[in-house]
Amino acid sequence: MTTPPASPTPPAAPSRISPEEFRQRAQAIEAEVSQVIVGQRELIRQTVVVLLAGGNALLEGVPGLAKTTLVRTLADVVDCSFSRIQFTPDLMPADIVGTTLISEDEHGRKAFRFEPGPIFANLVLADEINRATPKTQSALLEAMQERTVTVAKTIHLLKAPFFVLATQNPLEMEGTYPLPEAQLDRFFFKINVTFPTAAELVEIANRTTGARVPQIRKVATGEMIKDMQDLARTVPIASHVLAYAARLITATHPESKEAPTLTKQYVRYGASPRGMQALILAGKILALLDGRFNVAFADLKAAALPSLRHRCVLNFEAQAEGISPDEVLKGILESLKEEA
């Protein structure tokens, strides 16, 4: 008995947006957000990359660096529904995903009714996520990964686009709980929010203490964002560039033969396959933002730190010596050769 031939792969549906339109729309989003957020160009760019990748972002920085303002402004610019969840030690999972209530109609009949929680929005701000207990933090896991919420054995779909931007304070600050590694891996990027320069502080004071309030325009819709996400996935990547990404991920694992001395000395666990997925998809978006329809080595290098810094778990020796994941990753990037 002969095996029937495999069905041909159906052609990809043509994108409703061109690469040039993608770039112009993304630049317009960045420009509008920059009217509210002073400086922080890298922060804005990386946040937009995560949005266009359909992922989730974790922002880490001390209080007062406009992390909350960033996502609220982004929701206004792309004309999407927005909700904010303030994480506190007494927050419960049902406060995030919603709960099932018993309701009574006008005839006295009782029935169960699902009351959606704040997770049912396009852009969700999980503010100070590391101030809640791990049990509550884990309530975001299914929503972030599967884009669904399960309550009382019923699965509820989340409307696309769906984007969680979580903020956290540095772990050495009081009243915080470390995020579990499983949840950290769900974040597409971990973005470090740096303190502004003196000149930027002056501009922040001028914008926030004066009479003039920045007026932003809505330059995109949720449907446009979905079209941009679809286009990003069609960007080709050459086999040797893809192999470079694989060698980069492998080099973060201390047991690997390709791991440099820095990895073997300071890393306990390396990046997951999900890290490679984030690395490649971010590289595709950065290529489009640079006006190219192919991924270059430089795109992967630019995406390496935010894609992998939270996926590399350091050992006690690194913590004792004050070595950060960024230092290890920079060392790996310097030791890794580009091969055509």
The whole-angstrom distance between residue 50's C-alpha and the CA centroid of its chain comes to 5
Beta carbons of 186 and 17 less than 8 angstroms apart: no
Instruction: Identify the CATH number of the domain in which residue 312 sits.
Output: 1.10.8.80
Which of 112-121, 157-166, 186-195, 280-289 has the highest mean predicted lDDT (pLDDT)? 280-289
The whole-angstrom distance between residue 248's C-alpha and the CA centroid of its chain comes to 20
Where does a domain end: 206, 225, 244?
225
Q: Do both 37 and 92 map to the same domain?
A: yes
Where does a domain end: 204, 225, 246?
225
**pTM for this model (two decimals):** 0.86
Distance (Å, rounded) from C-alpha 117 to C-alpha 96?
A: 5
Residue 13 within any structural domain of the chain: no
Range of the domain at 298: 235-335
Question: What is the pLDDT at residue 258?
Answer: 83
pLDDT digits (tens, 9 = 90+) for 269-321: 999 999 999 999 999 999 999 999 999 999 999 999 999 999 999 999 998 99
Half-sphere exposure of 210 (CA within 13 A, CB side): 9
Distance (Å, rounded) from C-alpha 26 to C-alpha 194?
A: 23
Q: Do both 32 and 180 map to the same domain?
A: yes
Beta carbons of 22 and 296 less than 8 angstroms apart: no
Average pLDDT over residues 151-164: 84
Where does a domain end: 225, 243, 271?
225
Distance (Å, rounded) from C-alpha 171 to C-alpha 202?
A: 29
Ranges of beta strands (E only) in 230-315 are 267-269, 313-314
Overall domain count for the chain: 2
Distance (Å, rounded) from C-alpha 143 to C-alpha 48?
A: 20
Residue 12 within any structural domain of the chain: no
Q: Do both 208 and 267 map to the same domain?
A: no
Instruction: Dihedral sign for Cα 86, 92, 97, 98, please.
Output: negative
Instruction: Identify the CATH number of the domain in which residue 198 sits.
Output: 3.40.50.300
Distance (Å, rounded) from C-alpha 278 to C-alpha 52?
A: 12
Question: What is the pLDDT at residue 195?
Answer: 82
Q: Do both 139 and 200 map to the same domain?
A: yes
Residue 4 within any structural domain of the chain: no
pLDDT digits (tens, 9 = 90+) for 22-37: 999 999 999 998 888 8
Sequential DSSP letters for 208-250: HHSS----------HHHHHHHHHHHTT----HHHHHHHHHHHH
Half-sphere exposure of 138 (CA within 13 A, CB side): 6
Other beta carbons within 10 angstroms of residue 89's beta carbon come to 10
Residue 327 within any structural domain of the chain: yes
Q: Which DSSP letter does residue 122 get? A: S
Q: Do both 197 and 244 map to the same domain?
A: no
Location of structure tokens 């960045």: 30
Question: What is the pLDDT at residue 174?
Answer: 65
Bridge partners of residue 280, in order along the sequence: none
pLDDT digits (tens, 9 = 90+) for 188-242: 999 988 887 888 788 878 777 776 777 788 888 889 999 999 999 999 999 999 9
Q: Do both 132 and 196 map to the same domain?
A: yes
Question: What is the pLDDT at residue 3?
Answer: 45
